[in-house]
Chain A
Amino acid sequence: MDLFKIFSKESPSKDVAKERLKLILIHDRANVSPQFLEMVKGDIIRVISDYAEIDQDGLEIKLTRTGEQNSSTPALVANIPIKKMKDMGR
């Protein structure tokens, strides 16, 4: 619903500006390079692969902010599609 609010016609452009700025500044301040994200991604794949079979192409990792409203604390959010859990003495 947050997204809907941002893109709906009623939303004042300054709110769009503020949202965009907050996200840009998280990136600017964190100074996270694409290489860094690739490295993190590689390591995550390695660790998770021990426990589950994952869709490596569908894996998405991005820098954003924590879920709280108006938060400016950066957060790494990973979306890891699992094809199949490994059977490890569960």
Chain B
Amino acid sequence: MGISIVVTSGKGGVGKTTTTANIGTALAMLGKKVVVVDADTGLRNLDLHLGLENRIVYNLIDVAEGTCRLKQALIKDKRFDNLFLLPTAQTKDKTAITPSQMQNIVETLKGEFDYVIIDCPAGIEHGFENAVAGADRAIIVTTPEVSAVRDADRIIGKIEAKGLDDHQLIINRIKYEMTKKGEMLNIEDMTDILAIKLLGIVPDDEKIVVSTNRGEPAVTDDHSKAGQAYKNIARRILGEEVPFLDLEDENTGFFGVLKKLFKR
């Protein structure tokens, strides 16, 4: 029986879909059988992050409505044979599926896959209820901004109220230079405020934009810092002890600067 993990945040635009695509891909690269599920009905994007938008025939809502079998809606990834996408509908809204239907689908997927990663929509309404319905664990994504941290705190409260106690935090888009100057909340500030276990720190990385442009998750790019961070996160999900990336070394130290100079 596999494990289902919902990726959520409350606030939009903090990197839930990027996180889902990268963790899913990274777990597949580590040999696990993975399905990523888009629960953002009406505003689907996970397909774009994986470059699979042209292969969609059936979707999550078709499965819920019985239009097709679950297997027919699963799309195999271009690069990894053990990675699948269950897209959702773009023309329906979030009430097209109920939490109990979602729970059933996730249960069935857990029978087939090692990991079921669910991409939750922003907000705390119906879409959120659906996304967390079948989840064993939760990953909360936030960024070092007051609004994102506040929303993360609200989501943590909601999730705990549901008895989903296995939850961890990913801090996305940390700009080391700014944290050093005291112009951005740092890791300690955020874990202090949110009082939740830290799963990973993802540095702000322009390569993410390029990855999304191409529909190739950053973890497939060996030179992407964010990709490296997501690979580490995937290994932590598997239970490995992986130290957090030392952001100082990479960006500023004497050798870091030298490295940057020679890269150009």
- Contact yes or no, A25 B193, CB < 8 A: yes
Chain B min CB distance to A56 (Å): 34
A-contacting residues, B146-179, CB 8 Å: 146, 149-150, 153-154, 157, 179
Chain A, interface SS category: helix
Are B150 and A18 neighbours in the complex by a CB distance under 8 Å? no
Whether B153 contacts A28 by the Cβ 8 Å rule is: yes
Residue A15, interface by CB 8 Å: yes
0/1 string, B105-146, CB within 8 A of A gives 1: 000000000000000000000000000000000000000111
- A28 adjacent to B150 (CB under 8 Å): yes
CB of A13 within 8 Å of the partner chain: yes
Instruction: Decide: B182 and A18 in contact? CB cutoff 8 A.
Output: no
CB <8 Å contact, B153 and A14: no
The chain B residue sitting closest to A15, CB to CB, is: B182
Residues B180-208 near A (CB distance < 8 A): 181-186, 189, 192-193
User: For this complex, into which size category does the number of interface residues on chain A fall?
Assistant: 10 to 19
Q: How far is the CA of A28 from the CA of B154 in the complex (A)?
A: 8
In the complex, what distance in Å separates the CA atom of A70 from the CA atom of B150? 17
Scan residues 36-90 of chain A and give those whose CB is less than 8 A from a CB of chain B: 70, 72
Interface positions, chain A 2-36, Cβ under 8 Å from B, are 12-15, 17-18, 20-22, 24-25, 28-29
A-B contact pairs, 13 of them (CB 8 A): A13-B182, A13-B183, A14-B179, A14-B182, A14-B183, A14-B186, A17-B185, A17-B189, A21-B146, A21-B193, A22-B193, A25-B150, A28-B154
Which A residues are within 8 Å of any B CB, using their own CB? 12-15, 17-18, 20-22, 24-25, 28-29, 70, 72
